[in-house]
Amino acid sequence: MESRPLAIADVVLMEPRAFADERGLFFESFNAAAFAAATGVDGLAVAVGSSHAMTTRTADLDLDLVRRLAGAVAVPLVLHGSSGVPDATIAAAVGAGIRKVNIGTALNVAFTGEVRRALADDGLTDPRSYLRPARAAMADAVGALCRIVSTGGATQPL
């Protein structure tokens, strides 16, 4: 792990080591404990095979790496890019040690899709008529994720 001071007083840039293969970018587990201890973070976002802004559910997570990371640090692990992770893999990642799951893109897709559907009506002028169902679609996506992480599987896919 490399660190260097920045021009801002009392701020140090810490660069944990990561590696990549055909599946994506991964955080080395042997650096996780040192990074968490050195930074004092409350949670650790780990690179285990997903990436931000995925609109297809094709991410291939390294669940063994998740287990190693969870065993190496005393802080909750965060999975960014979960919108691109299949439901069963999200459930398995929670079982392996992920404690916070970010699905911003899935929420954006649900919201935007509903707005697009509603705006196909050329006579539409009141934003409440398309924002209400868009918010409901987003809430449905949150509900689906809650079922995935709490029961180990979804009754409705994201």
Helices 87-96 + 128-151 axis angle, to 10: 50
* Strand positions, DSSP E, the chain: 2-5, 12-15, 18-21, 24-27, 44-45, 77-79, 98-101
pLDDT category of residue 56 using cuts at 50, 70 and 90: confident
Asked if residues 139 and 126 have their Cβ atoms less than 8 Å apart, the reply is no
Chain segment 65-79, per-residue pLDDT in tens: 899 999 989 999 999
Q: What is the largest CA-CA distance in the chain?
A: 59
In order, the DSSP letters of 25-45 are: EEE-HHHHHHHHHHHT-SSEE
Asked if residues 69 and 30 have their Cβ atoms less than 8 Å apart, the reply is no
What pLDDT shows up at residue 81? Answer: 85
Q: What is the pTM of this model?
A: 0.77
Average pLDDT of the residues in 5-17: 60
Give the chain's length. 158
Is residue 152 scored above 60 in pLDDT?
A: no
What pLDDT shows up at residue 155? Answer: 43
- Both tokens of residue 19? 């590696």
**Residue with more model confidence, 27 or 103:** 103
pLDDT category of residue 23 using cuts at 50, 70 and 90: low
